[in-house]
Amino acid sequence: MNAAMLGPLVAAVLVAAIARHHQLSAPLVLVITGLLVGLIPAVPEITLRPDLVLFVILPPLLWSAGLESSFISMRRNKRPILLLAVGLPMATTVAVGAVAYFTVPAMTPAAALTLGAVVAPPDAVAATAIGRRLGLPRRIMTLLSGESLLNDATALTLYKVALAAAIGAATGWGMGLATFAMAAVGGAVTGVVFGSLIVIIRARLSDPLVESAVGLVAPFVIYLVAEEIHGSGVLAVVVAALMLGQRFTRAHHATRLQDQAVWRALQFLLESLAFLLIGLQLPTVVQDMRGVRFSTLTLASLAVFGTVLVVRAVWMVVFAYAPRSLSAKIRQGEPAPTHGQVLVLSWAGMRGVVSLAAAFGVPLTTLSGEPFPGRPQLVFLTFVVVIGTLLLHGLTLPWMIRRLGVQSEQARADALASANAQDKAARAAANRLDELLASTEPSPASERAAEALRGWNTRRRNAARERLRRFDPGAESNSDETAAAAFRRLRLEMLIAERAALITERDQGRIDDQVLRALMYRLDLEEAALNVD
């Protein structure tokens, strides 16, 4: 990342922070801001560099999403995820390619298929950023995250095959299938090898700082190695991240706390930059369209954009209901999707920065030295699809979710499951305490400690049940405060006083900053535990 990107990076963080402060959709605000800023003549032109997106922005975002994803949930939903991540990009590539070939005279069949592969995948950045903010139900988020993690591998591999045919580097279905198979196998093997290696390395480390540093470097190395051996860098990073995410319980608690903070900050930074860069591409895209007839461009834009929407909607409806009607095994093994869930999934296909990076990565000429057929139109149509889906879906999806009430039942079910799990954990802790006390000689000190621990354990059990009250329409008002709620409120006020006293001690020279940081860290951990929801 060179100095020219420092300004957009700082601006992206500031705009995203303002949007979050006002509870607005940061991705949408960033895209619109980029569009408006790009129209200002005095602003220097910033062209999206494909290598910046594919080798700097994409790997850590995929890694972070993979760490947060549930391998168990993805395996439980493997059939619909594979249909979304493999089947849907293929169908979109073919459909968009056919429409583009007949509506853009300058495009050859291979160039049109290249466009189809470029706009095929809903972007991992867009899906995870907007999906988290909307609070979608867990199964929908599992499907969306699984799709967004894997469909880039499918689409970018199709992109390589179609692009090679368009520039004259490859011909025939056999070579295309071989390229696809090599990318899939090479990416999966690379991911497994590096994932296993990182698991072994981190298991032998006892320094949380070094463990986090290994995790920060890993996605870049894995992506680069996979691409160098002609495998899928996307698939390699995702496979390794899923392996590490499945084993997060084995990490030291300090490593987990540190990783969570580091990756959330890095994710926020890179997502903000990505969405701002999308909007800033408008001047470059428009400038390249000089000399193209407006009527042809309008027809092609409407046709391609409409095809992207229709293919996803039809695919969702067909594969949500048709397999269930044909297979008793599917009906027994998978929960039936509601109409609202199907609508939300079909309307959550935002495209993003990866599509634009792939479009800008199309070479200007073929191997014969001729101009790449329809490259300006390809880049422009990609921009139309990306901006159109981000604005259309991003602005209307929250309304659709509220209208359909998709998230309400899942939220209550999660709270109930959490409360039950917390109750079992607290009982196990109480039983273990009783075993320890029975195996040692009683003393006044141990009795006092046991009494304090039992009270603390009871408060945690009550706090878990307290969180269920928000889902009960007949719950009493906050004026009738439970013991758990009162404990939390009073303890938070006590923590404020403790911090103020510690800061005073530092300001008066009785402790130094290093001691203060250590004491504040302990208070921060306690406050974080009190605020776990």
DSSP 472-523: -TTPPPTTS--HHHHHHHHHHHHHHHHHHHHHHHHHTTSS-HHHHHHHHHHH
Residue 476 is assigned to a structural domain of this protein: no
What's at 104, amino acid-wise?
A: V
- Same domain assignment for residues 278 and 355: yes
Q: Please give the Cα distance from 247 to 258 (Å, whole number).
A: 16
DSSP secondary structure string for all residues of 342-353:
HHHHHT-----H
In a domain? residue 475: no
Query: Does residue 369 share a domain with residue 488?
Result: no
Q: Are residues 89 and 18 in the same domain?
A: yes
- Specify whether 489 is located in the same domain as 391: no
Do 306 and 287 reside in the same domain of the chain?
yes
Nearest in space to 396 (alpha carbons), one of 350, 342, 341? 350
Q: Which residue is it, tokens 């700097």?
A: 56
CB 472 within 8 A of CB 493: no
362, 378 in Cβ contact below 8 A?
yes
In a domain, 37, yes or no: yes
SS3 371: strand
Which CATH number belongs to the domain containing residue 346 in this structure?
A: 1.20.1530.20
**Residue 479 within a domain:** no
Instruction: Please list the pLDDT of the chain residue by residue as tens digits (533 residues).
Output: 566 678 888 999 999 999 888 888 788 888 889 888 888 887 787 777 888 888 888 899 889 888 877 777 788 888 889 999 999 999 999 999 999 999 998 899 999 999 999 999 987 555 555 566 666 677 788 888 888 888 888 888 899 888 888 887 765 667 767 777 888 899 999 999 999 999 898 888 888 888 888 989 999 999 999 999 988 898 999 999 989 887 776 777 777 778 888 888 898 898 888 888 888 888 878 877 777 788 888 999 999 999 999 999 999 999 888 887 777 777 776 777 788 888 888 988 888 888 888 888 888 888 888 889 988 899 999 999 999 998 898 888 878 877 887 765 555 666 666 667 667 777 787 788 788 778 877 778 777 787 877 877 777 677 666 666 655 555 444 445 566 667 777 777 877 888 888 888 888 887 877 677 777 877 788 777 777 65
Asked if residue 395 belongs to a domain, the reply is: yes
Based on the fold, state whether residues 188 and 234 are members of the same structural domain: yes
Asked if residue 152 and residue 166 are part of one domain, the reply reads yes
Q: Which of 392, 407, 422 is the last residue of a domain?
A: 407
Which residues are registered as beta bridge partners of 337?
none
Name residue 216's amino acid.
Answer: L
Range of the domain at 98: 3-407
State the sign of the Cα–Cα–Cα–Cα dihedral 104, 106, 107, 109.
Answer: positive
Residues 333 and 428 in one domain: no
Same domain, 351 and 493: no
- 8 Å CB contact between 248 and 5: no
362, 461: one domain:
no
Beta-carbon count within 10 A of 427 CB: 12
Residue with tokens 């699809």: 385
Residues 452 and 490 both lie in one domain? no
0.85 surpassed by pTM: no
Which of 407, 437, 461 corresponds to the end of one domain? 407
Same domain, 392 and 416: no
Q: For residue 215, is it within any domain?
A: yes
Helix/strand number for the chain, H first, E second: 24, 0
Domain count, the chain: 3
Domain edge (last residue) among 470, 500, 518: 470
Angle, to 10 degrees, between the axis of helix 408-438 and the axis of helix 444-466? 170
